[in-house]
Amino acid sequence: MATQPIYQFYSCLKDYRPEIWRRFQVAGNVTLARLGYIVMTMYEMQASHLFCVDYFVKDDVLGYLREKGVSTEDMDWDRPEVVHYEILTEESLPDTETEQTRDATAITLRRLSNTPGLRLCMQYDYGDGWEVELRLETVFQDDALPGKLLPRVLEGEGFGIIEDCGGVSGLERLAKAFQKKKGREYQELSEWLGIDELDLTAFDINDINYRLKKVPRIYQNAYELGLRPTKQSLDLLARKYMK
């Protein structure tokens, strides 16, 4: 049974149209790092770049106070407004007056917040600049739900990203080229990806939920322990189970 509170989020890939989105549930005891691996899995990110999860602490705290009937109009705020949670390295940015950097492996969702309306933003690949926006819809308890079913996607649309394509503009370029399926740009992109077909509107909820039970652990081992994927893991990531 799910002994932890269940957090239900709505998430979407920022700035891309038609919208690529997921509604999903996770247990409250997942770390923000683990949440990042879950988001990567849902949006076809291959754990080959740095990432962080941004927590808009000012918005969350003031929103909670307003929900409790406390006026915040004249309230002074002398703390950082945003906390970046990431896998800490020597290159992690120092704190400033408005922003802090903290260890994503050291805090769980349950410790962070349980306020519906909570906003988070996962940044992935700072070069391509992917951002997935998350909004907490509800937190609830379901003792009858087997814990092994979490995390899980409830619904969604769209495929996800293509690594190293140049961000949202590159993804839009890919979508247009593979819709036409002819011309020089299609040939170049088809050769680069090694495929003839690409449907960025595709969404296979059963496959995503299957991968959510396996892929986040592979990503955790890579980011937190520096472990290279085994052949079995690589076959899983490449979806050889579908061939």
* Structural domain for 94, as ranges: 6-160+201-231
| 115 within a domain of the structure (yes/no) | yes
Q: How far apart are CA 148 and CA 237, in angstroms?
A: 20
Give the CATH number of the domain where residue 32 resides.
3.10.290.30
Q: 92 with 178, same domain?
A: no
Helix (H) or strand (E) holding 134: strand 130-140
pLDDT band of residue 2 (cuts 50, 70, 90) is: low
Q: 73 with 180, same domain?
A: no
- Give the chain's domain count: 2
Tens digit of each residue's pLDDT (9 = 90 or more) over 6-62: 999 999 999 999 999 999 999 999 999 999 999 999 999 999 999 999 999 888 877
Q: Which of 197, 208, 173 is nearest to 16 (CA)?
A: 173
Q: What is the DSSP letter of 198?
A: -
| 243 within a domain of the structure (yes/no) | no
| 79 within a domain of the structure (yes/no) | yes
CA distances from 86 to 1, 27, 81, 120, 160 (A): 30, 20, 16, 13, 22
Q: What does pLDDT average to over the chain?
A: 93
